[in-house]
Amino acid sequence: MKQRARTVEEKEARKQKLLNSARIIFPKQGYAKTTVEMITEGAGLATGTFYLYFKSKAAIYRELTIEGIRILGDMLREALPRSGTAGKTKLTVVADTYFRFYLEHQDYYSIISYLHLGQEDFPRDRAMLRSVESAMAGLTGLIESVLKEGIASGEFLPLDTARATVSLWGLMDGLFLLHQRNVMGIMGIPIEDTVREGLRIAFNGLLKVRDPNPGLV
C-alpha cells in the first residue's frame, strides 16, 4: 500500500515538474517556439515522459491556462466585498485584484493573455477553447454582475453590461501590455498611476454622478 502511494506521489511530482517547466518556458519563448523537448529538459525528465501526462503541447498549455484563471478567480472571490457595497467600490476591487494578479503571477498572466490575443500560431483546438472559454465566463460573469447591481441601484448609467465588461477587461489588459513593453518606463510613468487614471476615465463613463478620484483600494 505504501509502495502504491509513493508511486502515485511520484507520478504527481513528475507532472508538476512538467507544469512548472512549461509555466516558465511558454512566457519566455512563446507558444510556437516552445517545444516538448524544452519542457522536459527544463523538468529534468525524458521526452517520452511528457506523453504519459499530456496528449500534446496544447494540452499542457490548456491546463496552465485554466489553472491561471482559477487562481485569478479565487483572488477575486476572496477580495470582493459582500452585498451592500457600492458598485464603484466593487469594480475598484476587481481592477485592483486583477492588477495584483498581474504583478504576482506574471507567468500565468502571460499565458492567459497569449490566448486572449489570438496569435496565429496558436492551435484552434475547439475542445480546448471551449473549456477555457467556460472558465473565463466565470470571471467575466463576476464583473457583469457588479455592473448589473450598479445599474439596478441607480449608481451606474444604463448600458450593455456584456460590452462594458469586455471594455473594462480590455482596458486593464491594454495597460498591462504597455507595461510589459516598457512603454511606461520609457515615458517615466509608474504603472500604478496609469491604472488609476484609466479607472478614473472608465468610472466617469459609468457613474451617474461623476467622481474625479476613484483611486485603487
Identify the three-state secondary structure at position 53. Answer: coil
Residue 23: the pLDDT is: 96
Same domain for 75 and 40? no
Instruction: Check: CB of residue 200 under 8 Å from CB of residue 214.
Output: yes
Domain housing 189: 57-206
Whether 110 maps to a domain, the answer reads: yes
The whole-angstrom distance between residue 27's C-alpha and the CA centroid of its chain comes to 13
Q: What angle do CA 36, 41, 47 make, to 5 degrees?
A: 50
Residue 216: the pLDDT is: 43
Question: What is the pLDDT confidence band of residue 115, given thresholds at 50, 70 and 90?
Answer: low
Same domain for 20 and 68? no
Question: What is the pLDDT confidence band of residue 125, given thresholds at 50, 70 and 90?
Answer: low
Same domain for 3 and 84? no
Same domain for 61 and 49? no
Q: Comparing 167 with 182, which gets the higher pLDDT?
A: 167
Query: Is the pLDDT assigned to residue 186 strictly greater than 80?
Result: no
CATH number at residue 159: 1.10.357.10
> From CA 213, how far away is CA 203, in angstroms rounded?
9
Number of domains in the chain: 2
Closest CA to 159 of 170, 148, 143: 148
Which residue among 28, 54, 80 closes a domain? 54
Identify the three-state secondary structure at position 180. Answer: helix
Query: Is the pLDDT assigned to residue 119 strictly greater than 60?
Result: no
